[in-house]
Amino acid sequence: MPATSSPRHFADALHVRDIRFFLAAVAFFTLASRATLVIIGFQIYSIARHPAALGLLGLVEAIPAISLVLFGGHVADHFNRRKILLTTRAVSCVCALALAALSWHSHHASLLGLYAVIFMAGIARGFADPAGTAFEAQVVPKHLTVNAASWVSSTWISCAVLGPAMVGFLYAWWGAARAYLLIAALFVISWGCMWLIGPKPQPKPTTVEPLLKSIGIGWRFVFAHQPLLGAMTLDLFAVLFGGTMALLPIYAEDILRVGAKGLGMLNAAPFLGALITTLVATHRPPIVRAGRNLLFAVAGFGVSIIVFAFSKHFWWSMAALFASGVCDGVSIVIRRSMVRLLSPDALRGRIAAANWVFISASNELGAFESGMVAALIGTIPCVAVGGLITLGVVATVASVAPQLRRLAFDVHTLEHQAAAG
């Protein structure tokens, strides 16, 4: 019986050896990278004591990631994606060791040095993000796409819960330098899991186009397909204006007064909510009415952020962030599945690169925007206005992108049903 019509089980993807190694690589890399973000944000705010310093951190991450990711997509379609990932994982490990060295002799490490290392990590990310998304399509058979997407998302999110929660306590007990050494060890394990995945056949473009033309092909595909463009735009503006992660050190230190341990828990809360959603998605994939579900999820995210903005109680704040994560989990599974199912094989790297431009712009430029606006109008008004803008973006996209609003997939064949109601 064909795989597309055989009975489905929530653990189908886990029966494939290379998918298990891919999940392990994602797990250890996520533990390390999310823990790094918590420590570096708390370190920088402890030194500078100003929201603009956190905004500058987002900008330092954004510049290399956004400027190189399009070139990274071209490289991912023309060179071995597995080797790209092995190289960039090694660079991440070196960056963690450099952060440990900068933090070893002084609690107040050099701001310039910290920013410089994060800039180098952003360069590696510019190549790693599109290569990782495209390589996943080589590792995962098509009939396991949604199941594997749920497992990858669940793995990423569960480690995004554990990494920040763990490192907040480690930072308080051991200090930044020793925490960075543990992070470097996690990067090494991630590299080893990626190395254990066997080489995969990789389709090459039938013609070799000039670099700018090659990049443009991926962008033209995205702009010609309203569901992809609409979903990427939703994510861009929701996180650009509604994201709160960059300002959590301020909430932890000055508003909720819970310190580094509380900061770790605040960072973990949205990812815990998203984890529960993605685990449910392994049983009940939300792609049957993908467009409608995506719009409702992003609207729920905006409402949760507004509630968080005005909360002055730690556990109410945790609950609001948890709810935002539940909504974001639905969005993650749908968007990951859409990019995988709607992308031609030969363009996967370049389409993934375009997607990562939206993601990087929303995350890192969102952090920059949040820091600068918070410095101007205050942290609480900044977060509240961001939630309101998110709701406005949902309403706008819903009205101007009917193909996204009606987007649906057959859960058994994973084929796009363009005429679904």
Highest mean pLDDT among 46-60, 129-143, 381-395: 381-395
Q: Which two tokens stand for residue 260?
A: 């580094």
pLDDT for position 88: 92
Question: Cα separations (Å) of 145 from 3, 243, 244, 332, 415?
Answer: 12, 28, 30, 14, 11
pLDDT tens sequence across 292-336: 888 999 999 999 999 999 988 899 999 999 999 899 888 888 887
What distance in Å separates the CA atoms of residue 99 and residue 285, rounded to the nearest whole number? 40
Q: Do 238 and 362 touch, CB atoms closer than 8 A?
A: yes
| Largest Cα–Cα separation, the chain | 64
pLDDT tens sequence across 107-149: 566 788 888 998 998 888 888 888 887 888 788 877 777 777 7
pLDDT for position 420: 41
Looking at CATH, the fold of the domain delimited by 13-197+212-405 is given as Growth Hormone; Chain: A; (1.20.1250)
The pTM (predicted TM-score) of the whole model is 0.64
pLDDT at 49 over 60: yes
- Which whole number is the average pLDDT over 144-173? 76
pLDDT tens sequence across 268-303: 888 788 888 877 876 777 777 888 888 999 999 999
**CA atoms within 13 A of residue 327's CA, in its CB half-sphere:** 24
The DSSP code for 210 is: -
In the block, residue with structure tokens 């609409």: 230
pLDDT for position 139: 83
Confidence label for 87 from pLDDT (cuts 50, 70 and 90):
very high
Written as one string, the DSSP assignment of 331-376 is HHHHHHHHHHHTS-GGGHHHHHHHHHHHHHIIIIIHHHHHHHHHHH
| Higher-scoring residue by pLDDT: 209, 172 | 172
What distance in Å separates the CA atoms of residue 350 and residue 338, rounded to the nearest whole number? 15
pLDDT tens sequence across 165-204: 777 777 777 777 888 999 999 999 999 999 999 887 776 6
Confidence label for 421 from pLDDT (cuts 50, 70 and 90):
very low
